[in-house]
């Protein structure tokens, strides 16, 4: 009918909505409206929702978080046991063992969150700033200090202002600010570092899809679905991350082993990837070796481009 207006009743959370419902035997599921049998089941046959409803407690939230993140039903233990056997998790997933192990994305996100947490918080103590001759506890500003990104630069070199690829009005603005406060560059560096930390997670998450695209290009004649390459890339990163995190922490606390730790991480990552590709994709070993060389160069290039773009974006957010 023309001119008819439908007035929907507003949805509000009344006090009685907080009370747990007690449907009688032979009731109706509040979620999907399916009718129950004479004896109320534990879960609705139609949608699977629990029938004993109540407002969740803090323990319920923690239990749900731990169950979804870590899958404490035994899949976590089996997944960790197979994680460092290159290619095993990928082959198991592709062969249909979806419930036995953690899904690739959940495993990747769980390990990534744990690695980022450890790398962010486990840092050696920062040495105290040197005292000035006046004893005020702050060091004098250095003669040369430059904030630099891809195609952008701002700082002081030998007492001279350097400003490149920044609009003239912004250069004049920063020239006045630096003349009034020589230590401003250090504050800008801290601000830029906070932006870099905010973009680091996004860049990190983009590495797995980047490797998947490289795998699709390397094995394009196989005509495999992109999901195969994505699962392989996720599992490869899951194998890298624990070892890489431990080595970075060791080199951070003991800088003398920085070079050996870096070499060990590189050989471990390359070996793990090569064995994984050989087991998942098959083929001749020399062909896998050639593909590994191309993948390594492409991955390093993607990492450099993503890191440079992130650093430039964070610096532009700070200066422009």
Question: So what's the pLDDT on residue 225?
Answer: 92
Average pLDDT taken over every residue of the chain: 77
Indicate if 172 and 305 belong to the same structural domain: no
Indicate if 209 and 289 belong to the same structural domain: yes
- DSSP, collapsed to helix, strand or coil, labels residue 43 as strand
Cα-based torsion angle of the residue sequence 109, 310, 184, 122 in order, rounded to the nearest 10 degrees: 30
Place of tokens 């747990």: 20
Instruction: Answer yes or no: is 133 within a domain.
Output: no
Q: Kindly report, residue by residue over 159-188, the tens digit of the pLDDT.
A: 777 888 788 888 888 788 877 877 777 777
Question: So what's the pLDDT on residue 281?
Answer: 94
Indicate if 311 and 170 belong to the same structural domain: no
| Cα separation, 47 vs 262, whole angstroms | 51
Question: So what's the pLDDT on residue 126?
Answer: 58
State the residue range of the domain holding 304: 111-120+192-319
- pLDDT for 257 beyond 90: no
Mean pLDDT in residue range 49-66: 72
Indicate if 176 and 229 belong to the same structural domain: no
- pLDDT for 226 beyond 50: yes
Higher pLDDT: 77 or 200? It is 77
End residue of a domain, out of 153, 181, 209: 181
- pLDDT for 87 beyond 90: yes
Indicate if 211 and 287 belong to the same structural domain: yes
Question: So what's the pLDDT on residue 135?
Answer: 45
Instruction: Answer yes or no: is 78 within a domain.
Output: no
End residue of a domain, out of 132, 156, 181: 181
Indicate if 177 and 201 belong to the same structural domain: no
Question: So what's the pLDDT on residue 255?
Answer: 77
Instruction: Answer yes or no: is 54 within a domain.
Output: no
| Cα separation, 81 vs 85, whole angstroms | 8
Instruction: Answer yes or no: is 210 within a domain.
Output: yes
Indicate if 177 and 196 belong to the same structural domain: no
- pTM here is 0.66
- pLDDT for 236 beyond 90: yes
Instruction: Answer yes or no: is 69 within a domain.
Output: no
Indicate if 173 and 201 belong to the same structural domain: no
The share of the chain scoring above pLDDT 90, in percent, equals: 20
Question: So what's the pLDDT on residue 230?
Answer: 94
Instruction: Answer yes or no: is 218 within a domain.
Output: yes
Q: Give the closest residue to 100 by CA, choosing from 126, 127, 122, 80.
A: 80
- pLDDT for 288 beyond 90: yes
Instruction: Answer yes or no: is 242 within a domain.
Output: yes
Indicate if 171 and 200 belong to the same structural domain: no
Phi, psi of 29 (to 5 degrees): -65, 125
Per-residue buried b or exposed e for 48-65, using 16+ beta carbons within 10 Å of the residue's own CB: eeebeeeeeeeeeeeeee
Instruction: Answer yes or no: is 291 within a domain.
Output: yes
- pLDDT for 19 beyond 70: no
Question: So what's the pLDDT on residue 294?
Answer: 93
Pick from 19-28, 54-63, 80-89: least confident: 19-28
Helix (H) or strand (E) segment spanning residue 209: helix 184-218
Question: So what's the pLDDT on residue 191?
Answer: 75
What are the CA-CA distances from residue 261 to residues 252, 265, 271, 292 (Å)?
A: 10, 6, 15, 21
Indicate if 176 and 264 belong to the same structural domain: no
Indicate if 213 and 307 belong to the same structural domain: yes
Q: Kindly report, residue by residue over 104-119, the tens digit of the pLDDT.
A: 998 898 888 888 888 7
- pLDDT for 292 beyond 70: yes
Question: So what's the pLDDT on residue 70?
Answer: 54
Q: Kindly report, residue by residue over 238-247, the tens digit of the pLDDT.
A: 998 888 888 8
How many structural domains are present in the chain?
2
Higher pLDDT: 179 or 223? It is 223
Alpha helices in 45-135 (DSSP H): 58-70, 75-83, 88-94, 104-121
Higher pLDDT: 261 or 70? It is 261
Indicate if 175 and 196 belong to the same structural domain: no
End residue of a domain, out of 156, 181, 206: 181
């Amino acid at each position: 009918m023309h001119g008819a207006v439908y007035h929907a009743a507003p949805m509000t959370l009344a006090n009685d909505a907080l009370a747990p419902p007690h449907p009688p035997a032979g009731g109706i599921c509040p979620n999907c409206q399916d009718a129950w049998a004479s004896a109320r089941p534990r879960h609705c046959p139609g949608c699977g929702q629990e029938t004993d409803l109540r407002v969740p407690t803090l323990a319920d939230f923690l239990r749900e978080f731990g169950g979804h993140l870590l899958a404490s039903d035994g899949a976590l233990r089996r997944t960790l046991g197979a994680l460092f056997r290159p290619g095993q998790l990928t082959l198991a997933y592709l062969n249909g063992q979806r419930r036995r192990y953690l899904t690739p994305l959940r495993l990747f996100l769980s390990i990534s969150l744990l690695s980022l947490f450890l790398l962010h918080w486990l840092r050696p103590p920062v040495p105290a700033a040197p005292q000035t001759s006046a004893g005020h506890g702050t060091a004098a500003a250095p003669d040369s200090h430059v904030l630099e990104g891809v195609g952008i630069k701002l700082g002081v070199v030998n007492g001279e202002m350097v400003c490149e690829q920044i609009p003239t009005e912004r250069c004049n603005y920063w020239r006045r600010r630096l003349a009034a406060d020589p230590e401003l560059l250090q504050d800008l560096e801290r601000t830029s570092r906070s932006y870099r930390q905010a973009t680091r997670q996004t860049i990190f998450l983009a590495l797995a899809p980047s490797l998947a695209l490289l795998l699709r290009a390397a094995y394009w004649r196989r005509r495999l679905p992109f999901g195969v390459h994505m699962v392989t890339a996720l599992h490869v990163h899951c194998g890298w991350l624990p070892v890489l995190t431990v080595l970075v922490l060791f080199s951070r606390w003991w800088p003398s082993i920085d070079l050996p730790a870096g070499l060990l991480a590189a050989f471990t990552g390359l070996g793990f990837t090569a064995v994984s590709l050989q087991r998942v994709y098959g083929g001749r070993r020399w062909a896998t070796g050639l593909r590994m060389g191309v993948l390594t160069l492409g991955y390093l290039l993607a990492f450099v481009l993503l890191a440079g773009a992130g650093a430039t974006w964070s610096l532009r957010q700070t200066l422009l």
